[in-house]
Structure 1
């Protein structure tokens, strides 16, 4: 599979079909506050009630004025990007004048202490006015308003992310940014046990109706954790700020799996059909004086087919080929509630308290028939009933102290998260006419303590940021095997384990800007220690872990041609620490012939990233290009090998596979042809390279595996249109196309889908109704080929992707 060109002709067709949904908004500081302090040069005392005037850069127009307070301080807020002239006058002192520049990166600027020389001078009375100018947009992140994602209303955050530019969903339901799943997911800027600490999880637990926006940060600064080389996804919950009572209520209902993608291969339980989806929710907010109370809750209840995979296992020796099906029908209620309080006891101090609770309970019914591929005879029927409950609680206390100088502040945050996972499997095995029964029970408790301290200091030409962070994470778990008749369980793999993580970090960021250049330079220093303690009776693994002391720099240099054109260069170094589930030394028996097991010896993955981005804004839209490259060492991946028994079963184990790289070009074009018609197109073409590697899987015995160098070009195109129709009706149509790609040991085929959404305001625009459909042609499925030297796996997964929803929302 070397030097393959996996880029097919259907891409051309997709470009002609439609245009990408939802305009991309680049995050920015739209306005800035500038402050300073006046002192007398002869006495060094603060000067109160001095006149401070603000002019444009040519001194042709007076903009506004103010007077200094009792500390001699002044400030101007809501300043747009540009160059200004500051004039200061006070009776008995010379008039002082200086220019300064307001850029896009700093929300606060400090002009420092201004010394006035003694000399008599008087000025006339002021007139105060204001003017706002349009500004350019940053290139380090993107912001998507969930209210604009009409075709995904009523679904989960994971559903909504599938349509976002630069984001794909892989075969395991994980989010990928530019071809990598090494993504950190935050909730309101904080890592939580809900969405995963070392890796991502739980995105299908959060309804879109609860979310205000999603931020995608491709090049995080040193202020963020060094974890996640592909970038950061920040999920921001809705929270009102209007005075008095306000909020909204919503309800949606849907149905999926209207037709079968493929019939079962044996006489097993039927695939779920016409699967119902329900999503009621509410959000309420009350603000009065210095208090702001907020609360929201929702339920996401649905049935769905999580997996419907058809697999053919072929061997190079005389073992017969096996044809199997992995069908998993799920019933899943999900409950979310978040409530909190913002409190400002005085002008310098503010507190935010909130509690977030998530509960996901699901029941899975699994059917796995195994047939002789040549004769069609049933070799084995494996069925299971699984009940899993995940309860997650998070609480956070945040304090902000604001210094008298505008923009200078100290923030401290204390977070605590707790998650309990109970997973119970009942297995029934019919093999060669002999029945068997088994039970496994996993209990895991995760405790996370986070403490952060951040300091922000505005400067005359930018700002300085610094901070500290500490984390303790304790994750004990225990799995118990209860063998029944004719058990297949390996009893030497049960027992206890405990994940322990200690993380200490400090960072510093310096931001400088002038009318032509912007520079953001930072360094994060991080020490991490992880111990994974394995039951001493474990037959394969023993306690292991890792630690590192690392320097993680970040850099952004931008050149501003004008307000409409700018180019930015990014560099950062990041780390991917293995998730606890990747280290877990217990097997997962949902498929007894392709076992999954973790690896306590897994090491962190380190990555250096480079990017050059350009954006041109014009009256009807914008055009964005980015060229990027990422170089990784100790790549974390999953390797499948044979177990060596007489049935030629397989085992999938997490491993470090050496070096790899990813380089490509991304383009986004957004254009409004009129007020009623907007089109968007996003394309992302990249080359994946996995260097040759050799490693050994440890279970059930040492099995060596070697892989030659793999290399392939791939990509995706997302296109959509938003059309305003009569009666205030809005229509969205989007098309998603994923090109073939390489994976460790193989490749994944192309896939595509078409979505639509309709929305109309009602009740004098206080209400809203919608109708949408995901994968309306029912074409999205995942086909892979995996080669292990002495075997080949050919898989096609026809899981549920087609869903139609209707809903209503009312705002008050």
Structure 2
């Protein structure tokens, strides 16, 4: 291939040299580069030949790298006539041979560079003159305006993933990652920011192929820390190969952020102000030669109000206990993320990258609750309770990665990462007097958590021939989770003391994972591609709980090993249509929210507690897909099934036989089955107007155990059809204007013990780029016709019924502004990097559909 490119360029160069080369000093030469007159080149047809030679190499003066295929022309100094010429090779090297003695000039030129003239070259008989490295400077030319009408597709399909090009989303500025993920095919984002892939929240989310402990506490909250305008692409991988960690039964979402690889110093400013949220981000980069730095900071504040009601009944001891509760909630959030990155090209075949990312989350919710308690339809009491919830965290991720390239696609990498998340989940509650609303009692729940990971990983890839690839690697993760919690009480005034009815406690949870994988890819001449692999993982767990004043108690969770196979087959037809079939097995470990044994009574009628004895769940995934282009339309259709055993399911059961409270926890008691299809299409109506949309349909079946009327366990089953869909259009107008419209709906979702109602949302945005393309200003509105939306959840069992309604006031408008400062030049050479990618934990959710999240892995 390299010889073919060299020959092709040599032919082009010979043609252009014979027609457009200009004698040095002639009108229209280097001194008049902005003009393109017709030039007649006078060649000496009878050039005297000798046995001397001139050689050298052409280098970029700023990057100190070779300029491939540069033009080198030899002129007679006396007559200013071109005598000979040659093209440099792919290393920038050239040789002019058979030169007679005399005085000459050399002109070195290449597109995008200023011509270099070497004016005094004296050649003696038989001399071999080596000019060494000849450095030429990049040129900056004033070009006339060019109108580009072709656009990069919003959606692209690659061999093993679907790619959403978020950088083309003109309405993304001012939001966060959850705003972007709402528009990605196959993904669903609910009103709380929880993300599902084909109906499953058991996914792993990676950031630039790397994990982060910010995902360990809550994916929804973690996504709020990532600015939307810094996201380049979102990759959806539904059938990961053995190279990826086995966690994430639903698949992988990889968020790729924008990276500035330009030479020089740049600074980007992005801001937005709205009635629901405001943001400000500053991102700078500096690159010189082999070294590059990136420094960024992002902050986002949001404010919202929600109104909710809760109606539930429990049936215990031949009595009916009923709760009617109304709540006014005020949410305020302040999220930030700060990062520093460094990369260094040790040599042409070796590179080193390092980075540190610090994230903060300050989420508060002030709730005013009024609760009416009934026993057998008689009002027993009315409670007034004001609760301040504080969900605070800070996260540090530090990575150091090394990559060694032997030849194209033959690479060896070592990746390391340290990640730590400090999470505080507290609440303060004031119990008020019925009549005059004076404080009669105060409560506090203090819960501090730490999730820490150390990861070591090595990967090696090697192409075998032209159509085969072998990938092998090993990885180990040392993870520790701790949770310390306590309850305190006080009167209307005075100091807090420990609550004797709720003992303080702690959880120490250590998990070590060792893994190795082997993957083989083979592509046939008739465009079949087969990728088969297996991954072996061994997990060792040590866990114990302790209550104040008691000895610690070990939690017996046996070590387990899993062999995880994967198979991907694709076939490309003559018309560009691609057929795919895939199978893989995935493992899902429980996450911090599901393990945390803190007894959370922020709402005394709806209590939550984790289960540190949870074991992992296993899922088998099958997929068939077809993608094709029909004129200007891209169409993707897939059929899939997901079979999960030992499923981690959310379970609700009665707790208090006096007040009628219920408790929500998690158990390995269920099985889940899902069968469905997703259809997605993109139509380019014109080169500047596109419309895309899709629909997801799947039938789910859930089975588990719950308590019956006689105290024994009974089997609970639920099933139903789940639907969701999206539609988006985007138009690029002249003079930098752009318009985008988006809409989304989700039907009711089936849960193990009930259903959750659907919802819909829509937005419209307009953006104007500045004339110099260095900035833009935009206006976007969301749900601007409706004042809010209502989300209804219903849960039932033989012992209770529960109905909750939440009205979210999410009508919003925002103004965005962005500007780029700094001088940029040619791209500096960047090495590919390999990095740690963990995702093996599942977090709690309120879907009842085995919800969760992962901490990514590779």
Q: Name the residue aligned to 2:126.
A: none
1:62 Cα deviation after fit: 10
Confirm or deny that 1:469 pairs with 2:475. yes
Quote the Cα distance in structure 2 between the aligned partners of 1:456 and 1:335: 37
1:249 Cα deviation after fit: 1.0
Q: Name the residue aligned to 2:125.
A: none
Mapping 1:31-430, distance limit 5 Å:
52-53=3-4, 137-170=157-190, 172-196=192-216, 202-256=222-276, 277-305=277-305, 308-316=307-315, 318-371=319-372, 379-403=382-406, 405-430=407-432
Quote the Cα distance in structure 2 between the aligned partners of 1:755 and 1:331: 22
Contact persistence 1:641–1:703 (CA under 8 A): no
Confirm or deny that 1:706 pairs with 2:709. no
Distance 1:763 1:300, change over 3 A: same
Quote the Cα distance in structure 1 between the aligned partners of 2:290 and 2:798: 67
Quote the Cα distance in structure 2 between the aligned partners of 1:505 and 1:696: 39
CA deviation map 1:208-239 (0-9, x unaligned): 12322222211111111100111111122221
Confirm or deny that 1:534 pairs with 2:537. no
Q: Name the residue aligned to 1:459.
A: 464
Q: Name the residue aligned to 1:438.
A: 443
Confirm or deny that 1:694 pairs with 2:705. yes
Confirm or deny that 1:784 pairs with 2:787. no
1:594 Cα deviation after fit: 0.9
More displaced 10-residue stretch of structure 1: 661-670 or 531-540: 531-540
1:562 Cα deviation after fit: 2.2
- The alignment partner of 1:763 has SS state of coil
Match of 2:762 among 751, 754, 759: 754
Q: Name the residue aligned to 1:95.
A: none
Distance 1:702 1:360, change over 3 A: farther
Match of 2:683 among 660, 663, 671: 671
1:705 Cα deviation after fit: 4.8
Quote the Cα distance in structure 1 between the aligned partners of 2:815 and 2:5: 53
Quote the Cα distance in structure 2 between the aligned partners of 1:194 and 1:757: 30
Contact persistence 1:336–1:359 (CA under 8 A): yes
Quote the Cα distance in structure 1 between the aligned partners of 2:215 and 2:635: 32
Match of 1:518 among 503, 524, 529: 529
Quote the Cα distance in structure 2 between the aligned partners of 1:773 and 1:192: 32
Distance 1:393 1:488, change over 3 A: closer
- The alignment partner of 2:275 has SS state of strand
1:358 Cα deviation after fit: 0.4
1:367 Cα deviation after fit: 1.7
Distance 1:648 1:229, change over 3 A: same
Quote the Cα distance in structure 2 between the aligned partners of 1:654 and 1:55: 64
Contact persistence 2:653–2:707 (CA under 8 A): no
Stretches of structure 1 that go unaligned for 5 or more consecutive residues are: 1-33, 36-51, 65-76, 78-133, 257-276
Q: Name the residue aligned to 1:131.
A: none
The count of aligned residue pairs is 669
Distance 1:201 1:411, change over 3 A: farther
1:713 Cα deviation after fit: 1.2
Quote the Cα distance in structure 2 between the aligned partners of 1:194 and 1:228: 16
Contact persistence 1:679–1:721 (CA under 8 A): yes
Quote the Cα distance in structure 2 between the aligned partners of 1:494 and 1:63: 79
Quote the Cα distance in structure 1 between the aligned partners of 2:409 and 2:451: 37
Q: Name the residue aligned to 1:601.
A: 613
Distance 1:797 1:705, change over 3 A: farther
1:63 Cα deviation after fit: 11
CA deviation map 1:504-526 (0-9, x unaligned): 00011111113320011111110
More displaced 10-residue stretch of structure 1: 176-185 or 763-772: 763-772
CA deviation map 1:330-376 (0-9, x unaligned): 22222211111110121121000111000112332122211358789
Quote the Cα distance in structure 1 between the aligned partners of 2:713 and 2:463: 55
Quote the Cα distance in structure 2 between the aligned partners of 1:707 and 1:170: 29
Q: Name the residue aligned to 1:765.
A: 773
Distance 1:328 1:198, change over 3 A: closer
CA deviation map 1:656-682 (0-9, x unaligned): 232111110110010011123211121
CA deviation map 1:42-76 (0-9, x unaligned): xxxxxxxxxx55799xx9x9999xxxxxxxxxxxx
Q: Name the residue aligned to 1:616.
A: 628
Q: Name the residue aligned to 1:803.
A: 812
Quote the Cα distance in structure 2 between the aligned partners of 1:346 and 1:499: 43
Quote the Cα distance in structure 1 between the aligned partners of 2:290 and 2:735: 41
Distance 1:327 1:225, change over 3 A: farther
Contact persistence 1:630–1:661 (CA under 8 A): yes
Q: Name the residue aligned to 2:837.
A: none
1:531 Cα deviation after fit: 2.7
Distance 1:494 1:799, change over 3 A: farther
CA deviation map 1:530-579 (0-9, x unaligned): 33311155799862434310011111111111252010001000011000
Distance 1:154 1:539, change over 3 A: farther
More displaced 10-residue stretch of structure 1: 663-672 or 710-719: 710-719
Q: Name the residue aligned to 1:111.
A: none
Q: Give TM-score scaled by structure 2 length.
A: 0.73
CA deviation map 1:477-501 (0-9, x unaligned): 2112112249996744521111211
Contact persistence 1:414–1:450 (CA under 8 A): yes
Quote the Cα distance in structure 1 between the aligned partners of 2:772 and 2:332: 38
Distance 1:444 1:555, change over 3 A: same
Quote the Cα distance in structure 2 between the aligned partners of 1:679 and 1:234: 24
- The alignment partner of 2:594 has SS state of helix
Match of 1:793 among 784, 797, 802: 802
Q: Give TM-score scaled by structure 1 length.
A: 0.77
Confirm or deny that 1:483 pairs with 2:489. yes
1:644 Cα deviation after fit: 3.9
Quote the Cα distance in structure 1 between the aligned partners of 2:507 and 2:390: 22
Quote the Cα distance in structure 2 between the aligned partners of 1:731 and 1:375: 58
Q: Name the residue aligned to 1:259.
A: none
Q: Name the residue aligned to 1:46.
A: none
1:726 Cα deviation after fit: 4.9
CA deviation map 1:727-752 (0-9, x unaligned): 43221111111112211200122221
Quote the Cα distance in structure 1 between the aligned partners of 2:575 and 2:394: 49
Confirm or deny that 1:732 pairs with 2:740. yes
- The alignment partner of 1:151 has SS state of coil
Quote the Cα distance in structure 1 between the aligned partners of 2:676 and 2:488: 50
Q: Name the residue aligned to 1:552.
A: 564
Quote the Cα distance in structure 2 between the aligned partners of 1:573 and 1:191: 21
Distance 1:526 1:540, change over 3 A: same
Contact persistence 2:441–2:489 (CA under 8 A): no
